Structure 1
Amino acid sequence: MLDDVDRRLLRYFQSDPGASAADLAERAGLSGAAGWRRLERMREAGIIRGVEARIDWAALGYAVEVSLRIALDKGEARAFDTFLAAAREVPEVIEIQTFLGRVDVRLSVLARDMAHYQQIYRDRILALPHIADIEALMLVARVHHDEALPL
């Protein structure tokens, strides 16, 4: 699948996703064209899915982040799908994850402050369908966040 040159190219891409293909290729010891072809092949294979902007929400006034762990009442056949569709409509929900186990879904919610979070929680979260149990975990500090894997 990937050879050592691909892995080296991906390492440089992970550390500097804004770099040009020519610059990444040079760092990996390739010609610009060869580096571009390899990166393009990895995009087409779905290995590289895109480049994202990382926004510092706290700098924009969103100081509260809460992780909600939700167990659903799955008595209705489409409860899971209905809940997920409704959760996608809450603008302050920035991430939705599904699980197997006691917790079915985890929502990441951003708010400006605690009053704003309480409003979101009461007006939008508690209005979501099929919630059997909900647990809120307030983010205190992000100690480590890195999506890069050693290649």
Structure 2
Amino acid sequence: MDDLDRAILKVVQANAALSAGAVGRAVGLSQAAAWRRLDRLRKAGILTGRELSLDLEKLGFGVTVFLGVKLGAKGRVDLDGFERAVSAIPEVRRVEHVLGRYDYRLRVVARDLSDFERVLRRRIMGLPGVGEVEANVMLSEERRPGPL
């Protein structure tokens, strides 16, 4: 991977829907040369898919909460079972298995705080193995490009 590949990655990281011609123009390559490099980056597994971002607030989900979930220590907890069960909850947008005070970090969206409370009480707290939970309400978010 060279500096030109890194420049291409910066361009597609900002807008993954650009054509190879547009990517090439942004970095000073022909459409064909840009396409070959993009194809090579995909085949190497560096570029994988395209991510679609939804404006959840415009869709009625005005609250995002990060939950730290510590699984109970009683007996052996089925991690795969917990992950399958929590992933089936539509309001849970992301499930991350982490090291530290909590075992999992969840990103949960809700219409408002009372809707979040309903999701927490009826869906998340009832999952097998759930012990301690800590909630942090997101106030704002800034998306930053990766370290290229």
2:146 maps to: 149
Structure 2: 5+ residue stretches without partners: none
C-alpha distance in 2, partners of 1:17/1:98? 27
TM-score (norm 1): 0.90
Structure 1: 5+ residue stretches without partners: none
Q: 1:89 to 1:16 in 2, by over 3 A?
A: closer
Backbone CA RMSD of aligned residues: 1.5
Q: CA deviation at 1:77?
A: 3.6
1:50 maps to: 49
Pairing 1:1-80 to 2, within 5 Å after superposition: 2-80=1-79
Q: CA deviation at 1:150?
A: 4.1
Q: CA deviation at 1:70?
A: 0.7
* Counterpart code for 1:119: R
C-alpha distance in 1, partners of 2:63/2:17? 29
Runs of 4+ that moved beyond 4 A = none
C-alpha distance in 1, partners of 2:38/2:75? 45
Q: CA deviation at 1:76?
A: 3.9
* Counterpart code for 2:143: H
Deviations 1:4-41 (A, max 9, x none): 11112112222232211011112212221111011011
Kindly indicate whether the alpha-carbon contact (under 8 Å) linking 1:74 and 1:80 is maintained by their aligned counterparts in 2. no
Deviations 1:78-100 (A, max 9, x none): 52222111101111000011111
C-alpha distance in 1, partners of 2:146/2:109? 27
C-alpha distance in 1, partners of 2:91/2:32? 42
C-alpha distance in 1, partners of 2:77/2:40? 39
TM-score (norm 2): 0.92
Pairing 1:131-146 to 2, within 5 Å after superposition: 131-142=130-141, 144-146=142-144
What percent identity do the matched residue pairs reach?
38
